[in-house]
Structures are given as C-alpha cells and as structure tokens.
C-alpha cells in the first residue's frame, strides 16, 4: 500500500516549479525532495543473496559428501550403512523422539535431555568455581605460586581417568558423571579467568582506588567486566570439553543418556542408530558453543573496544 504514495510525491515535485512561474523556483523542489530509498523488493533480494552466499556452499559440500558416502557404502560387503539405509533404519527415532517405553527404551529427546541436564549442572558448578578460583589466582601472587603448578598438572588428566575415582567416592553414576563434567571444564575457565584478571590495565585499578571501591564492588564493577572477554573464552572451551566428556562418561555409567544410547546401539549392532546419535551430538555441541559465544558477545559488548 505504501508504494504508490511514495511514487506520486516526486511526480508532483517535478510539476510544482513549472506552474507558479518565478514565484519561488528554488524553494519548492528542495522541500519536496524525498530521500531515495531502495524499493523493498530490492532489499529482500539483497538479503536473500547474502544468505545464499553463506548457505549454498556448505549445502553443496554436504550433498557431495553424502553422495560419496552413499557410493562407497552401497557395495554388498560394506561394514557401514549408506545414508539411505541410515535414514530407513532410524525413521522411527527421527520422527518420534518423545516415546518412552520405560527403562532405557526411550526416544532420543529423553537421552539428549538427560545428557544436557548433567552437563548443565556440572558445567554451572565449573563456571562458578572456575571464575572464583581464577580470580583468586589472577589477583594474588601467592595463590598463583601455590595453585598454578597444581592446576597445570591436574588439567592434563584425561576426563575419563577421573571416573573410577569419582565412582569410588560417590558410589553412584549420576554424581560421578556430573563430577567428570565439572573437572573437565573447570581448568580452561580457571586459567583464562586468571589471565584476564592479571591483564586488567593498571588504569582501571587506579580509577577504582581513587573512587575507593571496596573489594566486592571492585570485583563486580571492574574485574568481571574487564576480564569478561577472557572469561568467556574459557567458558567456551569449557562447554566444548564438557560435551566431549559426557558422551564418554555415560558410555561407562549407563542409564539414560546419549552416551549410553550410542554404546547400547553398538552392543545391539544398530550402526544406523549410532550414526544418527553422532549427528545429534555434533549439532548440540555446535549449538552449545554458539550459545556461550553469543552470550559472551552480549555481555562483553563495548569491553574490547578502547
């Protein structure tokens, strides 16, 4: 409905100076000038083009890979199913992720949500503990000297190596899995936070000193925002690691969870189900990473720019 209105205006503008003769030849065309705005259809087509530039190449690559996979695995004696078989075998799982027949015979949604809950809990504890310890280590030279060597050694221990120990301590699968998530993701958070705190410019400390912020205000108003880019780097590495660790941990502890789903599928030789589960694990890992990155972008807006 807007289009005709905009179009008529310039038309009258051209007519106007002709009719009144010499009364105000300079003023009228200036007043009626409308800023040239590209038509809406043009804007949409530009947007579509931009999206296509980003979406089309990966789509082509995926299609080619699928084709390659299909061709390689179609042979009679191939050990892995081609994509068409995967789809046929797992149709039920794909289209009905919410079924629940008791025990561990549940839809993929329930497995994934169980895994995500463990990660959410373990990762949240890691984030809180990691930022707190990182602040301590970044702020106090003595804490750094005392704790840093310990961290450097502990962080190299593979996540699964912690599992037997935590099973011995907790005597239950659930808290052990959560502990493994925690211990896996806490190190990058600690180390990055410490670096961020150590790198707070002296100027900001001076400002805080002149204004006489107390330690708590200094923590909340200077340290956290100033170190936020570093903290979020640590958080992002942490979420990736914890998603890596959960699958491995769940394979061992059993119960509901995507890790055990994969193990169970392997035991019953449902190779197609494994491939479907891997697809979901990848997508969710990607989404988690983007989520933390996006959160970081919102929180640290303005911080990095001087």
Partner 1 sequence: MQAYLKLDHIDKTFTRGNATTEVLKEINLTIDKGEYVSIIGHSGCGKSTLLNIVAGLTDCTNGCVLLENREVNSPGPDRAVVFQNHSLLPWLTVYENVRLGVDKVFASSKTRSERDAWVMHNLNLVQMAHAKDKRPSEISGGMKQRVGIARALAMEPKVLLLDEPFGALDALTRAHLQDSVMALHQKLGNTILMITHDVDEAVLLSDRIVMMTNGPSARIGEVLEVPLARPRKRLELATNPGYLKCRQRVLEFLYERHRFVEAA
- Separation in Å, CA 250 to CA 116, 129, 264, 289, 291: 12, 23, 11, 20, 23
Nearer to partner 1, 128 or 207 (CB): 207
Token pair in block for residue 209: 């000193």
Shortest distance in whole angstroms from residue 205 CB to partner 1: 9
Residue 97 · residue 108 · CB < 8 Å: yes
The residue within the footprint of partner 1, chosen from 167, 178, 180, 228 (CB under 8 A), is: 228
CB-hemisphere CA count at 13 Å for 168? 5
Q: Report DSSP state, residue 302.
A: T
The span from the CA of 263 to the CA of 145, in Å, is 43
If one asks whether residue 300 binds partner 1 (CB under 8 A), the answer comes out as yes
Shortest distance in whole angstroms from residue 134 CB to partner 1: 19
User: What mask of x and - would describe binding to partner 1 in positions 17 to 56, judged by CB under 8 A?
Assistant: ----------------------------------------
Nearer to partner 1, 82 or 138 (CB): 138
Nearer to partner 1, 29 or 225 (CB): 225
Residues 161 to 220 in contact with partner 1, rule: CB under 8 A: 201, 203-204, 206-207, 209-213, 217
If one asks whether residue 154 binds partner 1 (CB under 8 A), the answer comes out as no
If one asks whether residue 61 binds partner 1 (CB under 8 A), the answer comes out as no
Please work out the total of residues on this chain that contact partner 1, with binding judged by CB under 8 A.
Answer: 23
Closest to 118 measured CA to CA, from 240, 232, 242, 241: 242
The residue within the footprint of partner 1, chosen from 1, 22, 31, 305 (CB under 8 A), is: 305
Query: What angle is formed at CA 299 by the lines to CA 114 and CA 242, rounded to 5 degrees?
Result: 30
Give the position of tokens 């373990």. 122
- Separation in Å, CA 161 to CA 165, 171, 287: 8, 16, 27
Closest to 176 measured CA to CA, from 266, 129, 245: 245
- Which residue stretch of 27-35, 121-129, 191-199, 221-229 sits at the interface with partner 1 (rule: CB under 8 A)? 221-229
The span from the CA of 111 to the CA of 271, in Å, is 17
- Which residue stretch of 16-24, 71-79, 274-282, 296-304 sits at the interface with partner 1 (rule: CB under 8 A)? 296-304
Residues 78 to 107 in contact with partner 1, rule: CB under 8 A: none
Residues interacting with partner 1, by CB under 8 A?
A: 201, 203-204, 206-207, 209-213, 217, 221-222, 225-226, 228, 300-306
């Amino acid at each position: 409905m807007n289009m005709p209105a905009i179009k008529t205006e310039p038309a009258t503008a051209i007519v106007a100076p002709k009719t009144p003769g010499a009364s105000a030849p300079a003023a009228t065309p200036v007043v009626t000038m409308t800023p040239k705005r590209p038509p809406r259809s043009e804007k949409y087509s530009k947007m579509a083009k931009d999206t296509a530039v980003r979406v089309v190449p990966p789509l082509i690559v995926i299609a080619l890979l699928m084709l390659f996979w299909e061709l390689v695995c179609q042979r009679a004696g191939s050990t892995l199913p081609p994509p068409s078989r995967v789809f046929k075998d797992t149709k039920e799982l794909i289209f009905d992720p919410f079924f629940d027949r008791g025990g561990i015979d549940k839809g993929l949604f329930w497995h994934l949500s169980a895994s995500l809950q463990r990660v959410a809990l373990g990762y949240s504890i890691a984030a809180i503990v990691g930022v707190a310890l990182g602040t301590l280590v970044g702020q106090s030279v003595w804490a750094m000297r005392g704790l840093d060597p310990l961290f450097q050694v502990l962080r190299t221990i593979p996540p699964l190596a912690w599992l037997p120990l935590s099973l011995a301590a907790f005597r239950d699968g659930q808290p052990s899995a959560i502990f493994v998530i925690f211990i896996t993701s806490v190190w990058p958070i600690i180390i990055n936070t410490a670096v961020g705190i150590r790198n707070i410019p002296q100027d900001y400390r001076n400002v805080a000193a002149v204004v006489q912020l107390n330690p708590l205000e200094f923590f909340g108003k200077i340290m956290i925002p100033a170190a936020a880019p570093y903290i979020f780097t640590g958080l992002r590495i942490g979420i990736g690691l914890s998603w890596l660790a959960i699958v491995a941990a769940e394979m061992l502890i059993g119960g509901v969870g995507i890790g055990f789903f994969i193990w169970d599928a392997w035991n019953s030789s449902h190779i197609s189900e494994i491939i479907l589960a891997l697809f979901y694990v990848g997508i969710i890992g990607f989404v988690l990473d983007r989520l933390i990155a996006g959160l970081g972008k919102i929180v640290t807006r303005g911080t990095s720019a001087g």
